[in-house]
Amino acid sequence: MTRERAERILEGAELVHSAETVSRAVDRMAVEITQALRDEFPMVLAIMGGAAVFTGQLLPKLAFPLEFGAIEVTRYANGTSGREIEWRLAPRENVAGRTVLVVDDILDEGITLAAVRDKLLAQGAKRVLAAVFADKALGREKPVAADFVGVSVPDRYVFGFGMDAYGLWRNLPAIYALKD
């Protein structure tokens, strides 16, 4: 991939949610999560690398004590279609008896998030909640639903605000969709 090719990807993309909309959604989610978990001491696990940008903006706005860790699991590996689940960094923290908040960039088909939830529950988590920044509107039921959602996105390949297009553009403050 060249810089010129990367720039063409962005130039040819369609804006889905502006940086302002993204920022307001993070603020709203922080309030909702704080209201739900303010009396708990949860473990917050970010799914890297997509959740890095979202998590970095969300955590400072959560007004309660928490423990933080990360996991890395993917079905995409810089591609645009899902494959088998690949655990790159399994949960290391002791989640037994804990409320766990999983933070991710997008709830697409729900296969990855369902696998994460199942693994954490098998490790003894009391309950597992999910905060996803974007929920893709697929028009069909998913194996898992998010407890906290920032924005809805169309059933297209989206990128920006932690989500990538061919491994690129996670650093954008807005969300874009590749042209169909």
Model confidence pLDDT, tens digit, residues 107-139: 998 988 999 999 999 999 999 999 999 999 998
Give domain status of residue 138, yes or no: yes
Give domain status of residue 169, yes or no: no
Mean pLDDT over residues 10-31, rounded? 97
Give domain status of residue 8, yes or no: no
Q: Is 180 in the active site? A: no
Give domain status of residue 45, yes or no: yes
Residue 78 has pLDDT above 90, yes or no: no
- Active-site residue identified among 104, 105, 108, 135: 108
What residue numbers bound the domain in which 144 lies?
A: 22-76+83-157
Least confident of 14-23, 57-66, 72-81, 102-111: 72-81
Q: Look at the chain and report how many structural domains it folds into.
A: 1
Q: Which pLDDT score is estimated for 76? A: 59
Give domain status of residue 6, yes or no: no
pTM for this predicted structure: 0.90
Give domain status of residue 110, yes or no: yes
| pLDDT tens-place string over residues 150-180 | 999 999 999 999 999 998 999 999 999 998 7
Give domain status of residue 164, yes or no: no
Give domain status of residue 9, yes or no: no
Query: CATH code at 92?
Result: 3.40.50.2020
Q: Which pLDDT score is estimated for 87? A: 74
**67 near 44, Cβ under 8 Å?**
yes
